[in-house]
Amino acid sequence: MKKLLGRCENCGRAVFKGETLFEIRIDIYAKGGPIEFEPEDLEKDHLKEMKDLIARMEKMDVDELTDEVWESYRFNLCHQCRKDFHSKLKMKVSGTIPPVRSRYSNN
Ligand SMILES: [Zn+2]
């Protein structure tokens, strides 16, 4: 019996020894926006704003707060799903649609 390496977390297919199991990692970071100051900003009550911000954060879930700063995921992928992701990512980067291949071909 072939040794099971794992399952594709996209399509659910079992991947056995002799095939390749791939891993995709996705990290989402808070990148922030531009810092802009207006003359009114200098007149604001910053201590009150900080207190308001802390009060709002205290009402938020810890996981919710953490997710807004950084999220990280890892998924196993089979050969076909890796190719599909690859094509979609390449399309995103290049802006061109890659040649279509049959999902069920054995290449
Ligand atoms: Zn798959």
> Which residues are bridge partners to 27 per DSSP?
72
* Predicted confidence (pLDDT) at residue 25 exceeds the cutoff of 90: yes
| Mean pLDDT, residues 75-100 taken together | 86
Tell me the CA–centroid distance for residue 1 and ligand 1, in Å.
21
CA distance 31 to 26: 15
Collapsing DSSP to helix, strand or coil, 32 comes out as: coil
Measured in angstroms, how far is the CA atom of residue 94 from the centroid of ligand 1? 24
Ligand 1 centroid–CA 43 distance in Å is 57
Q: Which of 100, 104, 45 is nearest to 80 (CA)?
A: 104
Residues with C-beta atoms within 5 A of ion ligand 1: 8, 10-11, 13, 78, 81
Position 99 scores a pLDDT of 61
For CA atoms 83, 88, 94, 100, give the dihedral sign. positive
**Ligand 1 centroid distance, CA of 80 (Å):** 6
Q: CA-to-CA distance for 15 and 81, rounded, in angstroms?
A: 12
Query: Does the pLDDT at position 103 exceed 60?
Result: no
Q: Which residue has the higher pLDDT, 95 or 23?
A: 23
Predicted confidence (pLDDT) per residue in 36-87, tens digit: 777 777 777 878 888 888 888 788 787 777 777 788 999 999 999 999 999 9
Distance (Å) from CA 16 to ligand 1 centroid? 12
Q: Tell me which residue of 75, 79, 93 sits closest to 10, measured CA to CA.
A: 75
Q: What pLDDT was estimated at residue 14? A: 97
Quote the pTM value: 0.57
**Contact criterion met (CB below 8 Å) for 82 and 15:** no
pLDDT for residue 104: 55
